Amino acid sequence: MVICKRLFLMILTALVTVSLCSTGTFAATSKKKSQPNNRYASIVMDAETGQILSQSNADKKLYPASLTKIMTLVLTFEALESGRLTLRDRVPMSQRAVNMSPSKIGLPVGASMRVEDAIYALVTKSANDVAVALAEKVGGTESQFAIMMTRKAREIGMTNTRFVNASGWHDPAQVSTARDMAKLGRYVIYRYPQYYHYFGTRNFTFQGKSYHNHNRLMSQYKGMDGLKTGYVGASGFNLVASAKRGNKRLVGVVFGGRSAASRNAHMASLLDRGFQGIDTSGSADYVAAVAIKPPPVPGRKPLEVLVASTTPVTATARTVQSIAPAAGAAVGQQTPQYNPTPFTSFGALAQNDGLNEILGQGDFDPAAERRVETGLMAVAAVKKEPYQRPVWSTSTAAAAPVDSATPGLADQHESLHPWAIQIGAFTSRVQTDKALKTAMNTLPSSLTQNIEPIIVPLKTTEGWMFRARLSGYTKDSAARACTLLRECLTVSPEAAR
């Protein structure tokens, strides 16, 4: 009997001990989960417009970890495009590269690999040794390459980012933000469409060994086709990802995940909400443009603006025509597909039913001719209905007609300066006009000569968005202009189509 009691007490004591230990472990885990995550930040961006769909701590400076390698690859793509590198060139492994800690490929000093294999090694294995070797190949030294990386970041508009190495190996001086990384992801997608597919590589085989992409979410989330994961102890689990559904592409960034699984689940949730928040059927690609030149306002220099039509049309040479500055006079036809019947008065414009679709913008003024006609063009663009407006311009009135078969000076300038910069996307035309005017006044005359302000309308579930762009730059001049503006993105000819 005594033995049974002792045995019972021993079992009871053991159970209580196990229970207390389990409770303590659970409490510690729960406490950790309930504590604020000071490393967390996120953002979701419409890749086409730059519209922010959600954000949290988006401008907080954090550690990018291997997200850094996206910029390493951007400079590699730049060297490939310029001809300084080819995909078949060899990347030698230096002692510095070989000394890097994992993740790594592990080649010995003096061995080499093709540039293309190096790209694959970065996007799949996230190889630190290869990142250093590639930096030395492109920049001479890794430190010089890091300077190039930071300079490129400024060109893109990454104002809160500093790079000191090519791999993302932790250094307190190497910082970025969720917003800056979203800008970088967007830049890669539209600036280097010919190389973006590398970020979607799921498996890579080198010297008989297979490497799997660390971004496992790419095989689980519908439409995701890149970009890059990152992790160091100081950063948590980071991810820059892009997904496309229909004609909409999003860029999402998460910093500071507590685990790869929780980070991936959170990213999927953010992207789901992002796709639900934008209209996947209300816009088409920007192809053609209609000129708007409003009557001069006393005491103010008139701002000439182009409003881009979202109606898909066959690209044709734009012609310059001489027009008498009289109300009701119609602009010459922009494309052979259109046979528009222009409105004869602004009274008729104001009565048009299409205006009901844009009254919620908060800046509609029936007395303002420019507001009425811009709104109608936005409506016509999405409805795919023709619209042309009268133009008042003292400069065009004095100009001689140009034969429609002969490209005008505007065409010659456009062909040599096909780049644009986007300075924002706004729900209000007042804000859009103000942003364009501010940008034109901020930039030096060398960066505004022959530059055309353009407004590209976009229909979303939130209402109309007006993308403010300045067109007529070369690649280099667009980059220079963006360095002088707070919010700016260069737009390549491919991205503008």
Phi, psi of 304 (to 5 degrees): -80, 125
Q: Among residues 42, 103, 126, 309, which one is catalytic?
A: 126
**Sheet of strand 463-473, all strands in order from the earlier edge strand to the far edge:** 288-292, 305-309, 452-460, 463-473, 419-426, 489-491
Give the DSSP letter of residue 102.
Answer: S
* Residue 228 among known ligand-binding residues: yes
Contacts (Cβ under 8 Å, ≥6 apart) of 270: 42, 44, 54, 252, 254
SS (H, E, C) 198-219: HHHCCEEEECCEEEECCCHHHH
Integer Cα distance of 486 and 422 in angstroms = 11
Q: Are 334 and 388 in contact (CB under 8 A)?
A: yes
Integer Cα distance of 358 and 339 in angstroms = 25
Does 259 participate in catalysis according to the annotation?
no
Give the number of other CB atoms < 10 A from CB of residue 7: 10
Q: Are 195 and 226 in contact (CB under 8 A)?
A: no
Contacts (Cβ under 8 Å, ≥6 apart) of 106: 129
Does 459 participate in catalysis according to the annotation?
no
Contacts (Cβ under 8 Å, ≥6 apart) of 97: 129, 130, 132, 133, 136
Q: Are 204 and 130 in contact (CB under 8 A)?
A: no
Please report how the helices 178-191 and 142-156 are oriented relative to each other, as an axis angle in degrees rounded to 10: 90
Q: CA dist 355 to 114, 368, 414, 460, Å?
A: 58, 13, 32, 16
Angle at the Cα of 122 from the Cα atoms of 117 and 127, rounded to 5 degrees: 105
Strands 489-491 and 419-426: antiparallel
Q: Among residues 42, 69, 152, 293, which one is catalytic?
A: 69
End-to-end Cα separation, the chain, in angstroms: 90
Integer Cα distance of 267 and 259 in angstroms = 12
Does 126 participate in catalysis according to the annotation?
yes
Strands 52-56 and 41-46: antiparallel
Annotated binding-site ranges: 228
Active site residues: 66, 69, 126
Annotated binding-site ranges for substrate: 228
